[in-house]
């Protein structure tokens, strides 16, 4: 049995950041200022803190200005909305990202709705979601955009291909389906209530797994020759090294390798793409604002 290809998302993301850095240099030349990205972190969730630090470093590395706003988990919703309004008005800021999840006493939807859609580099605002769904120019959520880039790099034209997206979140599943549709794929969205997921997955030329359940998609479910994009990041106990944990995706990768044409690994697949696309979105927003 042949073994599928492992898609190197880390290398693709590094290349994308290089292209963004070239675009940033051209923007600075033209506009006489750097693009700026503001990241808002509420509370001290360790995983979120790691992401935010990494975002800040990569923002500066591509030549943009990075602004970080750390607020305690006890911040009131009004104070957070005031901060966002300040950033909406701040001429130096082209992109605003509020790290999710937010503490339970804050209404996430209200916070996202407060962001100027022109600065919504996460693409979470309903205006951007609506623009994407109706085929208009939009800021597009970073993770699904990264998945599409990897798919097009691997497969070229996605037109007419059978795509199954597993997961229906606003951040990944729904925008992923919209992007695949825009590429003329035939799209199914499966989720936790889907009957006989194995046979739904087995139809697919393209599988995008974004359910958040460790190794739930089994190798034998995959149609021979399919391309699999694994968005899952799940921490599980390491059975070989007691007391340690490791990160796995939503797909049983080792099994799937015998069936796929290509698959993204976890880690090193989709993960690195998210920040690279965020930087790209910030450059896109900066150009749109500069006119």
Place of tokens 């034209």: 157
Task: Report the site for ligand GUN in 141-180 (rule: CB under 6 A).
Answer: 142-143
Closest of 176, 233, 241, 234 to residue 206, by C-alpha: 176
Site string for ligand GUN, 267-286 (x = CB under 6 A): -------x------------
Window of 22-30, 96-104, 187-195, 260-268 that interacts with ligand GUN by CB under 6 A: 96-104
Please confirm, yes or no, whether 99 is among the known catalytic residues. yes
2 marked as part of a ligand binding site: no
What minimum distance in Å lies between the beta carbon of 242 and ligand GUN? 30
Helices (H), the chain: 9-31, 46-61, 77-89, 108-114, 126-133, 142-155, 173-182, 197-202, 253-256, 271-290
For 101-159, the DSSP string reads: PPPTTS-HHHHHHHS-GGG-TT--SHHHHHHHHTT------HHHHHHHHHHHHHHS--T
What minimum distance in Å lies between the beta carbon of 216 and ligand GUN? 20
233 marked as part of a ligand binding site: yes
What minimum distance in Å lies between the beta carbon of 18 and ligand GUN? 21
Helices 9-31/271-290 angle, 10° precision: 20
Closest of 64, 43, 44 to residue 55, by C-alpha: 64
What minimum distance in Å lies between the beta carbon of 257 and ligand GUN? 27
Q: Which is nearer to ligand GUN, 210 or 226 (CB)?
A: 210
Window of 77-85, 95-103, 197-205, 233-241 that interacts with ligand GUN by CB under 6 A: 95-103
Q: Which is nearer to ligand GUN, 139 or 256 (CB)?
A: 139
Window of 27-35, 91-99, 208-216, 242-250 that interacts with ligand GUN by CB under 6 A: 91-99
- Residue choice 100, 133, 181, 182 for contact with ligand GUN (CB under 6 A): 100
Closest of 33, 85, 9, 81 to residue 262, by C-alpha: 9
168 marked as part of a ligand binding site: yes
Please report the sign of the dihedral spanned by the C-alpha atoms of residue 55, residue 87, residue 142, residue 99: positive
Catalytic residue from among 34, 94, 119, 122: 122
Whole-angstrom Cα distance, residue 239 to residue 246?
A: 9
What minimum distance in Å lies between the beta carbon of 278 and ligand GUN? 7
Q: Is the bond into 101 cis (omega within 30 degrees of 0)?
A: yes
Place of tokens 């606003």: 170
Please confirm, yes or no, whether 5 is among the known catalytic residues. no
Please confirm, yes or no, whether 89 is among the known catalytic residues. no
Q: Is 97 in the site for ligand GUN (CB under 6 A)?
A: yes
Whole-angstrom Cα distance, residue 41 to residue 277?
A: 19
Contact residues toward ligand GUN (CB under 6 A) are 97-100, 122, 142-143, 274
Binding-site members are: 167-169, 233
Binding-site members for NADP(+) are: 167-169, 233
């Amino acid at each position: 049995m042949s073994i599928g290809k492992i898609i190197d998302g880390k290398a693709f993301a590094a290349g994308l950041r290089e292209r963004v850095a070239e675009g940033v240099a051209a923007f600075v030349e033209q506009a006489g200022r750097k693009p700026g990205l503001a990241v808002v972190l509420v509370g001290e969730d360790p995983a979120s803190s790691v992401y935010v630090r990494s975002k800040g470093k990569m923002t500066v590395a591509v030549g943009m200005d990075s602004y970080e706003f750390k607020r305690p988990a006890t911040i009131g919703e009004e104070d957070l909305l005031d901060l966002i309004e300040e950033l909406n008005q701040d001429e130096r800021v082209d992109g605003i990202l509020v790290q999710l999840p937010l503490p339970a006493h804050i209404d996430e939807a209200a916070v996202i709705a407060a962001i100027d859609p022109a600065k919504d580099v996460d693409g979470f605002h309903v205006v951007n979601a609506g623009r994407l769904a109706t085929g208009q120019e939009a800021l597009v959520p970073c993770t699904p955009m990264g998945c599409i880039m990897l798919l097009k790099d691997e497969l070229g034209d996605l037109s007419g291909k059978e795509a199954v997206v597993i997961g229906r979140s606003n951040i990944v599943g729904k925008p992923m389906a919209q992007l695949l549709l825009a590429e003329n794929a035939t799209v199914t969205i499966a989720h936790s209530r889907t009957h006989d997921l194995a046979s739904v997955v087995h139809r697919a030329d393209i599988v995008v797994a974004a359910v958040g359940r460790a190794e739930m998609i089994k190798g034998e479910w995959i149609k021979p020759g399919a391309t699999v994009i694994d968005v899952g990041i799940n921490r599980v106990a390491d059975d070989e090294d007691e007391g340690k944990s490791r990160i796995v995706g939503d797909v049983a990768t080792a099994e799937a390798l015998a069936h796929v044409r290509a698959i993204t690994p976890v880690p090193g697949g989709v993960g690195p793409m998210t920040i690279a696309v965020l930087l790209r979105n910030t450059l896109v927003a900066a150009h749109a604002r500069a006119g």
